[in-house]
């Protein structure tokens, strides 16, 4: 059995020479898309490869899509295989923003049917604080592998499905928006051209999943956190969303940690919803 949610710095440090482990640096700045790749080139965890959110973990934006469309599965499988990832590989992902970017690769691997993927708890900052080894040279070359993955489209909810539910007045699926409360209420929108949220969505900002040091809260604390918004619902009726389908995966990871399995992702999220001005928008609490 591999690790499928979190890995601690101390454990990862003992696995740095393990040929069956691969580390990916997922640091990314939405406002400066080249900054973190340059930072990676300067220093990173030993033999960590860089995963660029826009180039590696997303497809190009289209007039109908959100800001980070899901990557083509075949291209993603080739990219993973090119970095030596096979079905037997334990993958570890990290960033410097509490896991908000690294969760994209965590979720994508699970979407492809690869559960042996874990987030470095506390990320870059925890590694630095622990005084663990860093690398300033490029990661060592690895032999390419064949990564066979098959996307589970049942994990993904589409705009059409949500729009149809809204028109029918159904509540079969419950949207859970991971953006900040200010963005959800429409009081501030630093990224997208329209502010607000999808009618009927509830707000659980991803920051609530973390302790002050950037590590994830305990299973018990997360179960308590999600008990109120779930309100007795089955977890598989929850659909996580955010601005572009990336940070929403943070709530999906938190739910997995809490033992609340089966929630799905609205991959297009807010930035795709507002592509059509006829789709309704709500503001306020």
Write out pLDDT tens, residues 4-43: 999 999 999 999 999 999 999 999 999 999 999 999 999 9
Mean pLDDT, residues 51-75: 98
The whole model's pTM is what? 0.97
- Is residue 63 pLDDT above 90, yes or no? yes
CA distances from 152 to 68, 80, 157 (A): 18, 17, 11
Domains of the chain: 6-129 (3.40.250.10), 153-273 (3.40.250.10)
Which of these, 244, 158, 240, 238, lies nearest to 205 by C-alpha position?
240
Angle between helices 219-230 and 248-257 (to 10 degrees): 120
Residue with tokens 């990862």: 12
- Is residue 1 pLDDT above 80, yes or no? no
* The one catalytic residue among 26, 36, 77, 242: 242
pLDDT at 31 (0 to 100): 94
CA distances from 213 to 14, 44, 235 (A): 22, 20, 27
**Which strand (E) or helix (H) includes residue 103?**
helix 102-111
Active site residue 242: yes
Distance CA 9, CA 245 (A): 27
Distance CA 155, CA 265 (A): 6
User: 133-189, pLDDT tens digit by residue?
Assistant: 999 999 999 999 999 999 999 999 999 999 999 999 999 999 999 999 999 999 999
Mean pLDDT, residues 95-116: 98
């Amino acid at each position: 059995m591999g690790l499928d949610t979190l890995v601690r710095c101390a454990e990862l440090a003992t696995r740095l020479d393990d040929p069956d482990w691969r580390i990916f640096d997922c640091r990314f700045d939405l406002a400066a898309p080249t900054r973190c790749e340059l930072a990676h080139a300067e220093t990173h965890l030993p033999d960590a490869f860089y995963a660029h959110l826009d180039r590696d973990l997303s497809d190009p934006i289209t007039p109908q899509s959100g800001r980070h469309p899901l990557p083509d599965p075949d291209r993603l499988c080739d990219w993973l295989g090119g970095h030596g990832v096979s079905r037997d590989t334990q993958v570890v992902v990290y960033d410097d923003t509490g896991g908000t970017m690294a969760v994209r690769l965590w979720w994508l691997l699970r979407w492809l049917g690869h559960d042996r993927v874990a987030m470095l708890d506390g990320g870059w900052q925890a590694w630095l604080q622990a005084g663990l080894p860093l690398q300033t040279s490029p990661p060592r070359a690895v032999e390419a592998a064949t990564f066979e993955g098959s996307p589970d489209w049942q994990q993904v909810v589409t705009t059409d499905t949500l729009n149809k539910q809204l028109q029918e007045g159904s509540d079969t699926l419950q949207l859970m928006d991971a953006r900040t409360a200010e963005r959800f209420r429409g009081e501030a929108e630093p990224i997208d051209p329209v502010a607000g949220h999808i009618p009927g969505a509830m707000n659980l900002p991803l920051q609530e999943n973390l302790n002050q040091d950037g590590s994830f809260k305990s299973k018990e604390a997360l179960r308590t956190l999600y008990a109120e918004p779930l309100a007795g619902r089955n977890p598989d009726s929850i659909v996580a969303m955010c601005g572009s389908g990336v940070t929403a995966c943070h709530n999906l990871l938190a739910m997995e940690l809490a033992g609340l399995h089966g929630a799905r992702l609205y991959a297009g999220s807010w930035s795709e919803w507002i592509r059509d001005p006829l789709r309704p928008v709500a503001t306020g609490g």
